[in-house]
Amino acid sequence: MSMGAEFDCLFCKIIQGKVPSAKVYEDEDVFAFLDINPVNPGHTLVVSKKHFINIFDVPEEELKKLIVVVKRLSRSIKEALGADGINIEMNNEKGAGQLINHIHFHIIPRFEGDGLRHWPGKEYQEGEKEEIAQKIREKLEE
């Protein structure tokens, strides 16, 4: 956990009630609220009440608490809005689009024809897939 960072963190201020939000869920460890710039209506952010930057520094026990709430809220959001599906997103670090350095999941309700496009797929070069899979397996063993 980054000490001191929470004093400048927008999400910490939202959790503390210093910045207004449209809260949809709160328990001892997790806070969820509507995104102020939603992809679709009902786009919800699920955050830890403790200040962790992203997936790389959050303890597994805290991550488990978050993902359980993400699952529960996903069902509620889908049913409440009559969505055709749900996207769950998490951006980790600037290069992946993380704008607020406080761990959070996006729950985005999806509707047929909503215009949101998924990322383009790319093909592997000859032998590249096996090489990359091996590198990942090696890092898991470290």
User: In the predicted model, is pLDDT for residue 1 greater than 50?
Assistant: no
For residue 2, the model assigns a pLDDT of: 44
User: In the predicted model, is pLDDT for residue 97 greater than 80?
Assistant: yes
For residue 119, the model assigns a pLDDT of: 83
pLDDT tens digits, 18-77: 999 999 999 999 999 999 999 999 999 999 999 999 999 999 999 999 999 999 999 999
User: Is 104 a residue of the active site?
Assistant: yes
Q: Which domains does the chain have, with CATH numbers?
A: 5-141 (3.30.428.10)
* Residue 6 pLDDT class (50, 70, 90 cuts): low
Type of residue at 19: V
User: In the predicted model, is pLDDT for residue 126 greater than 70?
Assistant: yes
Q: Which two tokens stand for residue 133?
A: 């899979």
pTM reported for the whole predicted model: 0.91
Q: Which two tokens stand for residue 64?
A: 């488990």
- In terms of DSSP bridges, do strands 30-34 and 44-48 run parallel, antiparallel, or are they unpaired? antiparallel
88 close to 105: Cβ distance less than 8 angstroms: yes
- Residue reference for tokens 């670090």: 93
Q: Which candidate in 102, 104, 106, 118 is catalytic?
A: 104
* Residue 120 pLDDT class (50, 70, 90 cuts): confident
